[in-house]
């Protein structure tokens, strides 16, 4: 068993008791998010705009979903807070942790507009457990959620971006358990945990990923391309679904971008839509 998976197993054993049951967020909300990092225009729409213009544009995109769902439409900034890198860095973990100042500034902007903030982890050669722990000061906030990206979870001699990575269920379950403990200790409302996937081997034992009473675990299909390709990949990924479904749309890479009506016509119906 890889070291990072062993750490996750131990972590899940320590933090396996969920907080008291309460209504979950995605049971009555559709969450529309903008993905990226403010330091880069290449990582997604979040870095292509800023300030009031960025907030207004996300509100306009989310409003397009209102006529097509009976759920409340909520919005979030989706920040890649741990960025996989093509160089090893001082600690040889092949990832860069975003500064607290950048995260706090985006959280402040999100709150000013009634948005949530999602912190996305591209772990490189680090562990999910270590990266989640580093983000606990922000995950302790009631409106901050978490995302895990297996594509950039590599080990051994692998380099993020050159090989497609993977996460074992134990690592995901460890993150779920850590959030459950945090919610119990801080008396926080339910949170969302996103897991990205576009190939089956990114989550080799996905069937072992557990559900939670207080953490909405979302499987997001985030491959890009034509509508035909995306529908096919969505069907394949969702053959083994998690508690909630989601999809990522790419403003630049997708051809014939899905409309809100088309998104909500997918089965299972997405509870989360990410725009990159």
For the stretch 26-40, pLDDT in tens is 999 999 999 999 999
Q: Which residues contact 112 (CB under 8 A, 6 or more apart)?
A: 55
pLDDT in tens, 38-60: 999 999 999 999 999 999 999 99
Helix (H, G, I), strand (E, B), or coil: what is residue 47? helix
CB 10: neighbour CB atoms within 10 A?
13
User: What is the mean predicted confidence (pLDDT) over 244-265?
Assistant: 97
Look at residue 155 in the predicted model and tell me its pLDDT: 86
Domains of the chain: 3-14+23-275 (3.20.20)
| Angle at which helices 51-63 and 100-112 cross, to 10° | 50
Q: Which residues contact 21 (CB under 8 A, 6 or more apart)?
A: 213, 214
For residue 37, what are its two tokens? 């990092």
Distance (Å, rounded) from C-alpha 261 to C-alpha 190?
A: 27
Number of C-alpha atoms within 13 angstroms, CB side, residue 232?
Answer: 6
- DSSP string spanning 99-135? PHHHHHHHHHHHHHTT-EEEEEE--BTS-HHHHHHHT
Least confident of 47-61, 154-168, 198-212: 154-168
The average confidence (pLDDT) of the chain is 92
pLDDT-based confidence at residue 9 (cuts at 50, 70, 90): very low
Look at residue 161 in the predicted model and tell me its pLDDT: 82
pLDDT-based confidence at residue 4 (cuts at 50, 70, 90): low
Distance (Å, rounded) from C-alpha 253 to C-alpha 138?
A: 31
Among positive and negative, which fits the CA dihedral 201, 152, 256, 240?
positive
User: What is the mean predicted confidence (pLDDT) over 238-245?
Assistant: 96
DSSP state of 160: B
Look at residue 157 in the predicted model and tell me its pLDDT: 83
């Amino acid at each position: 068993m890889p070291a990072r998976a062993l750490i996750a197993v131990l972590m899940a054993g320590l933090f396996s008791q969920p907080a008291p049951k309460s209504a979950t967020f995605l049971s009555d909300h559709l969450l529309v998010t903008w993905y990226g990092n403010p330091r880069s225009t290449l990582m997604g729409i979040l870095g292509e705009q800023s300030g009031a213009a960025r907030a207004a544009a996300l509100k306009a995109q989310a409003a397009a979903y209102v006529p097509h769902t009976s759920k409340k439409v909520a919005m979030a900034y989706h920040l890649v807070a741990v960025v996989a890198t093509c160089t090893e860095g001082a600690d040889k973990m092949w990832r860069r942790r975003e500064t607290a100042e950048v995260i706090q500034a985006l959280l402040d902007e999100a709150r000013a507009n009634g948005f949530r903030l999602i912190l996305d982890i591209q772990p490189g050669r680090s562990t999910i457990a270590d990266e989640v722990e580093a983000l606990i000061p922000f995950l302790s906030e009631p409106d901050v959620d978490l995302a895990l990206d297996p594509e950039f979870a590599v080990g051994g001699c692998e380099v993020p971006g050159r090989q497609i990575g993977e996460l074992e269920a134990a690592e995901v379950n460890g993150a779920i358990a850590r959030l459950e403990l945090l919610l119990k200790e801080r008396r926080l409302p339910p949170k969302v945990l996103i897991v990205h996937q576009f190939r089956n081997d990114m989550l080799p034992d996905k069937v072992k990923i557990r559900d939670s009473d207080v953490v909405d675990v979302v499987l997001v299909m985030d491959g890009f391309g034509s509508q035909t390709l995306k529908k096919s990949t969505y069907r394949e990924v969702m053959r083994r679904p998690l508690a909630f479904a989601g999809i990522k749309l790419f403003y630049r890479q997708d051809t014939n971008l899905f409309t809100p009506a088309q998104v909500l016509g997918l089965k299972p119906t997405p509870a989360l839509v990410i725009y990159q």
